[in-house]
Amino acid sequence: MTDDTRVLYNADCPVCSFEIDHYAKYSDARALPIRFEDLNCVDMTDWGLSRDEAARRLYVLRGGQIYSGIPAFIVLWQDMPRYRWLARLVSLPGIHWLAVKVYDHVLAPLIYRWHQRRQTAATSTES
């Protein structure tokens, strides 16, 4: 096991890849110990998730613990100096509560539905 923070994301999702690619470039430029793993081509054993489960939200693995959703973003932001202020802000009780509700009930389901539509469209064009 390493002390690296590992981020599991869906590189096939334009929204996900746009945001995570930004974080990856920032992290790479500063040699931060963060690894970004595309759920479409990584061994999912360490994660204990199916690819479909993983496509539903952001997951971060650090110190042997898996975080998902807003807590995963907070862990990721804490590891990036430019974003530590955002981690502190989103960790505040009222803001955290609101961020979790919006992410869990609006953003993540919406992005996942787009993912499903893209998969359905790709499958129907292959047929």
Q: How confident is the model at residue 90 (pLDDT cuts 50, 70, 90)?
A: very high
Q: Judge whether residue 69 has pLDDT over 50.
A: yes
Predicted confidence (pLDDT) per residue in 1-11, tens digit: 457 899 999 99
Confidence at residue 1, expressed as pLDDT on a 0 to 100 scale: 44
Mean pLDDT of 31-46: 94
With pLDDT > 70 as the criterion, what percentage of the chain qualifies? 98
Mean pLDDT of 78-88: 97
Average pLDDT over all residues of the chain: 93
Q: Is the dihedral of CA 21, 27, 31, 37 positive or negative?
A: negative
Q: Judge whether residue 31 has pLDDT over 60.
A: yes
**DSSP per-residue codes, 55-116:** HTS-EEEETTEEEESHHHHHHHHHTSGGGHHHHHHHHSHHHHHHHHHHIIIIIHHHHHHHHH
Domain boundaries, the chain: 5-126
Q: Which two tokens stand for residue 21?
A: 């690619």
Of 1 and 106, the one with more pLDDT: 106
pTM (whole model) above 0.75: yes
Confidence at residue 123, expressed as pLDDT on a 0 to 100 scale: 75
Confidence at residue 127, expressed as pLDDT on a 0 to 100 scale: 61
Tell me the C-alpha distance between 32 and 25, whole Å.
10
CB-CB neighbours of 51 under 10 Å: 14
